[in-house]
Chains A and B, each alone.
Chain A
């Protein structure tokens, strides 16, 4: 295998504290390995090699993701590495996975070749995501599919901040702020995901203009999502309007853990989004519209009240307008059922800095929707003070 490391050097390195060595192998044949050292909040990737006959099968990517995941688990915030300046393939490989070129070391390699220093942060990404598709969903929604370099998936209920255009471009000023959007579902083995949205104002109108191949600025995944449903649990998932988009991942998890009942509400039949994906789940689905054009004529909280009366042991997961979540939390309390809500307060940053998304806590003080949520126990929110 072409590597600057002899077997003895590898074995020596692997015995040093903080060293991570992962191999890809079939039976006795070594297909590749990654060697890294993780110390004081940083991981240095020393070597990542895939055997010549085993390339273009995703092994390099899998090894890299594994070592980055393990490093993050051990507290690393930053990953660093060097590549040969002339190795366009390696520079491209790491560039696609969120690494940026941060410097150059002259004549670093034997033979006089320069080294390019690259680094990326672990944790939330800040990248330009490639638009894979941006198409209508139902009669009024849009479904945006993104491929962010380095994306490693998100938990149900987590969100991203999206800007309608690439981040490093000339500073955008109107609209100024990115928009928080729930991760709707993960695709392509975890490397892509979708958001569901509606055109509401300037930000979403610009986003609606993004075409396949365009770039969309992304920070995420952010926040704390839903806790995994307990085995045997009956989950009541209540979505209102675009809040529905926060629930698909949790609904899917709930059908695996126990059983799920999905209740989706909107003003009219045309405002319901994501219906086909919810129909495809092994969950019972009930719809409600305020004008009666589809399903129950009235608010979605009315079928929720019935469902809770039938099974007070169920757990409620709700996302939608504040009035809907307030009502869901009240109904759950009346039935002594547990209820988790995903709040949608306005925010400027999404990562705990602007303090704009403060939500009043029951008992006083504030929680940040972006950092402490967006998912909260319904009983922990002061619903009277939440605007």
Chain B
């Protein structure tokens, strides 16, 4: 039907269009079946999975901030076994699923990667090396180059699936972290995860979140994310999946220009469960209007200032 070629290749993950949804904002996909034809988007990234189910943090877990929100959910998830046995069968055929992986040690990450390899519908893995919510977990991997290298190496040897490493923005040099992922055999990098942040209740003189610190998401972080995607694109040849405050086709197109091959829609799906579909539609419409024959022609096409 379309005259615009919207297909992209995200490090071996073939997508019909460049719009995925971000882990933690799209559940296990089934929650959106009532609102959105899952085949209208490129695919989705499921909520991060651990070897065992996790209950998550005590409330308060979220807090609205200017043009954004803070969260500290604590990686509540059903565990990898329940995901494979109960959640995946409910996803319609033809919907690419990227599984997000999290663990307390590189060995645990690798176990989860192994368990997901060869499972129908799972077309790739996203290594959540950057989740800032769990004290004993991911933050160390994403913020420390040798730890990140070890993590990517072990996940790489555990799975033949396309491997995308989701980077933390809470670092001095995003370029260095992207190079580490590339050097250890990642097929793509995804960025950014939430920015570590704090909000305080003056009345109680306590942090608003029970966890203290949280992760900031939403339109407030979009320019920071765009800058980091651009910097990473200068540093590595790997395909990049851009994430951070994307709520419209215009937002997504800016990420493509700065070097992202695909994007993920995150917090915007809370406001409007059809947001990712509208972004995909809008990219195609914009390309048609601008005479762009293939979406991939836009990747990295930013003109100098």
Using a CB–CB distance below 8 Å, which chain A residues touch chain B?
Answer: 41, 77-78, 102-104, 119, 121-124, 126, 163, 167-168, 170-178, 217, 219, 345-349, 351-360, 364-366, 385-387
Contact = CB atoms under 8 A, between A and B. Distances in A.
Contacts of B27: 352-353
Interface stretch (B31-39, B114-122, B124-132, B174-182): B31-39
B219 A176 contact: yes
A104 B32 CA distance: 24
Contacts of A126: 35, 272-274
A171 B59 contact: no
B273 A219 contact: yes
A122 to B, nearest CB: 7
B19 to A, nearest CB: 15
Chain B residues touching A, majority SS:
loop
A242 to B, nearest CB: 18
Interface in B27-79: 27, 31-37, 55-56, 58-69, 71, 73, 76
B31 A352 contact: yes
A122 B27 CA distance: 19
A329 B107 CA distance: 46
B34 A171 contact: no
Nearest to A351: B31
B217 to A, nearest CB: 9
A354 B60 contact: no
Contacts of A78: 37
Interface string B218-249: 11100000000000000000000000000110
Contacts of B71: 348, 354, 356
A217 to B, nearest CB: 7
Given A174-B66, A366-B76, A122 B270 contact: no
B102 interface: no
Contact of B34 (A77, A119, A358, A386): A77
A349 B273 contact: yes
B73 A355 contact: yes
11 contacts: A78-B37, A102-B37, A123-B34, A173-B218, A176-B68, A176-B218, A219-B272, A352-B27, A353-B269, A353-B270, A387-B58
Interface residues of B, number: 45
Interface string B252-293: 000000000000000111111110001000000000000000
Contacts of A176: 64-65, 67-69, 218-219, 267, 271
A358 B68 contact: no
B4 interface: no
The 9 A-B residue pairs with the shortest CB-CB distance, nearest first, are A356-B62, A171-B247, A123-B34, A349-B270, A173-B67, A173-B219, A348-B270, A353-B27, A121-B34
Contacts of B60: 346, 387
B61 A355 contact: yes
B109 interface: no
Contacts of B268: 171
A322 to B, nearest CB: 11
Nearest to B67: A173
Interface of B: 1, 25-27, 31-37, 55-56, 58-69, 71, 73, 76, 92, 210, 218-220, 247-248, 251, 267-274, 278
Nearest to B61: A356
B55 A365 contact: yes
A236 B223 CA distance: 53
B271 A387 contact: no
A323 to B, nearest CB: 15
B272 A358 contact: no
Q: Which of A122, A172, A176, A219 has the most CB of B within 10 A?
A: A176
A387 B246 CA distance: 31
Q: Which of A170, A171, A351 has the most CB of B within 10 A?
A: A171
A284 B35 CA distance: 42
Nearest to B33: A77
Contact of A177 (B26, B56, B270): B270
Contact of A387 (B73, B76, B210): B210
A359 B35 CA distance: 25
B271 A163 contact: yes
Q: Which of B56, B59, B219 has the most CB of A within 10 A?
A: B59
Q: Which of B67, B71, B269, B273 has the most CB of A within 10 A?
A: B273
Contact of B272 (A167, A365, A386): A167
A348 B69 contact: yes
A346 B268 CA distance: 17
Contacts of B65: 176
A354 B25 contact: yes
Contacts of B63: 346
A222 B67 CA distance: 25
Contacts of A348: 62, 64, 69, 71, 267, 270
